[in-house]
Amino acid sequence: MTNVARTTATITRLGHQGDGVALGPLFAPRTLPDEVVSGVVEGSQLTDIRIETPSEHRIQAPCRHYKSCGGCQLQHASDDFVADWKLSIVKTALAAQGLETKFRPIHTSPARSRRRATLTVRRTKKGAMAGFHGRASGVITPIPDCHLLDPSLIAAIPLAEALAMEGASRKTPLLVTLTTSETGLDVLVRDGKPLDSTLRVTLATLAGQHGVARLTWEDEQVAMEQPPLQAFGSARVCPPPGSFLQATRDGEAALLAAVQEITKGAKRIVDFFAGCGTFSLPLAAQAEIYALEGGRGMIEAMQAGWRQGKGLKKLKAEVRDLFRNPLLPEDLKPFGAFYEAAVIDPPRAGAEAQVAQLAAARTPVIAYVSCNPVTFARDAKTLVAAGYSLNWVQVVDQFRWSAHTELVASFTLAS
């Protein structure tokens, strides 16, 4: 048997995906800065890694699935280390744009609090297997003791496997998205067999047996025992299947509290990329809201929730592609006089076009929620160059043990 040469390296930093980086660069997953490691070099990757000298921040991963599962990247690091690292990601992104500001202490969602997960489910010779893919692997890792997901999602694994038994081909796995709601699980299935009358009946029966609030197969609703409701302030909203929600209720509450603090006292607020009303509907308890979102289904869900909410002020909701058709200064001109605050929560690409127009309109107060520190920093530079002060940043870690970082920032127009 041929001996494979091993290389020893010292990890100097973590990359943005959470991998350790050594000179080369060599990328070594699940390692930490200052660790001496050995492994086999394959291109730019270090594989078959052994920790020769561990970091003081290395801990025993709490979840027994961690070694084989690809769902988490940082369970081997202490909570304090991860918090400092995520703060440093945002600070570095701002520094690259020549910006700095005050940082509030990071808010981290607790374990077992993720309210949505997409499981890969494959039929096997003996039944079915549901879980997450291993790191850079097509192998499915079962996750019955996952420390990340809400327990109700773990309890639904037998349902996901039953759906695969009835509706998956032997060649293509199902993608089963499970979302918690106030009225039960909301289940969306992709890559299944085409629906026919027999399969519809079978799926509806499974939904009833497992207490599912709504089951959607591709784009067709197969069963709905009751609408899967999400609480946004006093409103209850039934989002379209698979539509955007914040990853945890805890993280959503932290983001909302910061947005409410930033916009406090405003009587009229414009909300860009409003989704189903995560911020618009709670803010409508105190202010008139103009909400803009590209998805018609989400706007309609928000409007329905607003109509049934209690004590809410006026809500104007508009379907608009804010990337291709941002509100222009002339559109925003009334907001400069009458809308005292703006909330903006764009996807990872940020909101370059809309932020430029928002800055030109000189809306006095802006709450910026971001899931990408790099595009946030780019947009922050635009606002600061236009005369805004970046008052503070609050990092919110909803994606515990991952490399993902979210934040909310306060901007005010300098007088």
Residue numbers annotated as active site: 371
Q: Are 88 and 97 in contact (CB under 8 A)?
A: no
Contacts by residues 350-353 (CB-CB < 8 Å, ≥ 24 positions apart) = 350/375, 350/376, 350/378, 350/379, 351/272, 351/273, 351/322, 351/326, 351/379, 352/378, 352/379, 352/382, 353/322, 353/323, 353/326
Tokens of 198: 């027999």
HEC readout, 262-289: HCCCCCEEEEECCCCCCCHHHHCCCCEE
Adjacent-strand bridge partners of 46:
41
Q: Kindly report the backbone phi and psi dihedral angles of residue 275, in degrees, each rounded to the nearest multiple of 5, phi listed first.
A: 60, -135
CA distance 96 to 135: 30
Please state, as a whole number, how many other Cβ atoms lie within 10 Å of the Cβ of residue 42. Answer: 10
| First vs last C-alpha separation in the chain | 74
Whether residue 25 is preceded by a cis peptide bond, meaning omega within 30 degrees of 0, is yes
The number of beta carbons lying within 10 Å of the beta carbon of residue 67 is 13
Count the helix, strand and coil residues of the chain and give each as a percent rounded to the nearest 5: 25, 30, 45
Backbone angles phi and psi of 32, in degrees to 5: -130, 155
* Side chain identity at residue 72, one-letter code: C
DSSP string, 174-194: EEEEEE--TTSEEEEEES-PP
**Parallel, antiparallel, or unpaired: how do β-strands 36-42 and 365-370 relate?**
unpaired
Place of tokens 């414009």: 270
Tell me the three state secondary structure of residue 18: coil
Enumerate residues 6+ apart whose C-beta is below 8 A from 257. none
